[in-house]
Amino acid sequence: MNALHNASRRSALTAGITVATAALTAGASAEAAPKKTQPARSPLDRAESGFVTTKDGVQIYYKDWGPKTAQPIVFHHGWPLSADDWDAQMMFFLLKGYRVIAHDRRGHGRSTQTHTGNEMDTYAADVAALTEYLDLKNAFHVGHSTGGGEVVHYVARAKPGRVAKAVLIGAVPPIMLKTPANPGGLPMEVFDGFRAALVANRAQFFRDIPSGPFFGFNRPGAKVSQGLIDNWWRQGMMGGVKAHYDCIKAFSETDFTEDLKAINVPVLIMHGDDDQIVPIADSAQLAIKLVKKGTLKVYPGLPHGMATTHPDIINADLLAFFQA
């Protein structure tokens, strides 16, 4: 029995050595073989979603759909949302043959939850990094609310050939805050209240806004969509609370007056006259006086989130502006 046992052990050891030797030989052969290098990818081959890394190491998430040779449309979302807020516009223009791009602002959505750089200069620099990475030329830039501020801050500084036209939807420029130079603005107490509610219970605050003034669901006879409320909450809670906190200052206190004056491309300003978040009298009706090539279109009874509640109206007017 001992002899048989020893023979069995010798056989097992021999088999193990043989397998190990074969594996080492195969590995050595693989090491010796020249490695295949991946061919350089052109901008036209880039993924349809991904991240671009900014100079300060922040990762900005983006979607990039449609033919890479088609004219691009870049969508800039409002606070505290994400690129997903443009679903209705992304699909509409994708099916019209455009190249559609939307990104999550730093600290929002799937982008890095930054604790610094949450202000307009950096937001615009992030957009510049994205447009350069994707090599976007002759693009239409569309911004909603805070995203409208981001658009004018970027477009005023963009390299020649990057931008064809700009659109501001329910946008914050020229400046939301009440100041001696802007007596019709909202008092600081309003934005301090935003900050306090955000810190106290962000999850509840992000229910209250879409359930009420954002979509106009607090108006008599409003057709309330729980799906829109839930999707707003979902997008908001994806972002970082510190970035959201800082962004309140960015959208309320940044003065975009000189940016608006500096823009040389056609600008379409779209605003609902029942916008309870960014009142039209101290935004669109002032901004139109500052741009060189501007058109103001007012939507009776429509709310701040009208691109989501009434996409058929907004998309048709966007298309007409792009094609004009």
Q: What is the pLDDT of residue 27?
A: 40
**Has residue 26 been placed in a domain?**
no
pLDDT of 31 strictly over 50: no
pLDDT band at 52 (very low <50, low <70, confident <90, very high): very high
In order, the DSSP letters of 82-112 are -GGGGHHHHHHHHHTT-EEEEEPPTTSTTS-
Q: Quick check: is 145 catalytic?
A: yes
Q: What is the pLDDT of residue 45?
A: 55
Q: Pick the catalytic residue: 145, 259, 271, 283?
A: 145
Per the CB < 8 A criterion, the answer to whether 74 and 52 are in contact is no
**Has residue 123 been placed in a domain?**
yes
Residues spanned by the domain of 64: 45-323
Q: What CATH number does residue 283 fall under?
A: 3.40.50.1820
189-244 confidence digits (pLDDT tens): 999 999 999 999 999 999 999 999 999 999 999 999 999 999 999 999 999 999 99
Q: Mean pLDDT of all residues in the chain?
A: 90
pLDDT band at 254 (very low <50, low <70, confident <90, very high): very high
pLDDT of 39 strictly over 70: no
**Has residue 304 been placed in a domain?**
yes
Amino acid at 262: A
**Has residue 287 been placed in a domain?**
yes
Give the integer Cα–Cα distance in Å for 65 and 126: 19
Q: How many CA atoms within 13 Å lie on the side-chain side of 53?
A: 2
Tell me the C-alpha to C-alpha distance, in Å, between residue 86 and each of 90, 290, 296, 308, 321.
6, 27, 21, 8, 18
87-114 confidence digits (pLDDT tens): 999 999 999 999 999 999 999 999 999 9
**Has residue 35 been placed in a domain?**
no
Q: Quick check: is 317 catalytic?
A: no
**Has residue 12 been placed in a domain?**
no
Q: What is the pLDDT of residue 47?
A: 66
Amino acid at 282: D
**Has residue 36 been placed in a domain?**
no
13-32 residues labelled b (16+ CB within 10 A) or e (exposed) = eeeeeeeeeeeeeeeeeeee
Per the CB < 8 A criterion, the answer to whether 206 and 237 are in contact is yes
Angle between helices 146-155 and 120-133 (to 10 degrees): 70
Q: Pick the catalytic residue: 85, 275, 282, 283?
A: 275
Q: What is the pLDDT of residue 7?
A: 42
Give the integer Cα–Cα distance in Å for 48 and 42: 13
146-155 confidence digits (pLDDT tens): 999 999 999 9
pLDDT band at 46 (very low <50, low <70, confident <90, very high): low
> Greater confidence, 295 or 32?
295
pTM of this structure: 0.86
CA-closest candidate to residue 312, choices 293, 299, 296: 299
CA-closest candidate to residue 132, choices 202, 84, 62: 62
- Give the number of domains in the chain: 1
**Has residue 215 been placed in a domain?**
yes
294-318 confidence digits (pLDDT tens): 999 999 999 999 999 999 999 999 9
Give the integer Cα–Cα distance in Å for 113 and 279: 29
Give the integer Cα–Cα distance in Å for 322 and 320: 6
The share of the chain scoring above pLDDT 70, in percent, equals: 85
- Across residues 263-288, what is the average pLDDT? 98
- Across residues 253-273, what is the average pLDDT? 98
Q: Quick check: is 304 catalytic?
A: yes
Q: Pick the catalytic residue: 77, 141, 271, 304?
A: 304
Give the integer Cα–Cα distance in Å for 240 and 108: 6
pLDDT band at 280 (very low <50, low <70, confident <90, very high): very high
